[in-house]
Amino acid sequence: MSGALFEIGLRHFLCVSLFVFVLGLYCVLTRKNAIGILMGVELILNSANINYLAFSHFSSGRYDGQVFALFVIMLAAAEAVIGLAIVLGIYQNFATIDVEATDNLQG
C-alpha cells in the first residue's frame, strides 16, 4: 500500500484533477455572483488540463495532449475576456452582478 501511495502515477494526478473539478462544479452550482461562477469555470478547465497532461505523460507519450491543453488555455483566456466584459456590462445596466436579479428575458 505504501508503494502505491509513494509511487506517483497516473491515478494520483487524476485524483487531484477530480477534486479540483468537483470543487469547481460546486462553485458553479452554488454561486449567485457571476464572477464567482466564472471562477468555478476556470477551476473546471484547469482540472481538464491536468487530465490532458497526465494522459499525455503516462498513457500516450506524445505531444497531442499538451497541444490540446494549450488550446484549452487559449479558449479559457477568450472566455474570461468575454465573460468579464459581459459581467461589467450587466453591472452597468443592473448595478448588480447577481445572476438571479438579471431575469428580464423571463417570460
Query: Which single residue is written with the C-alpha cell 470543487?
Result: 23
Residues 47-106 within binding reach of another protein (CB under 8 A): 49-50, 53-61, 63-64, 66-67, 69-71, 73-78, 80-82, 84-89, 91, 95, 97-98, 100
Is the separation of the CB atoms in 42 and 9 below 8 Å?
Answer: no
Of the candidate residues 1, 31, 101, 103, the single one contacting another protein (CB under 8 A): 31
In the complex, least distance from residue 56 CB atom to another protein, rounded to whole angstroms: 7
- Nearest to another protein of 12, 102 (CB atom): 12
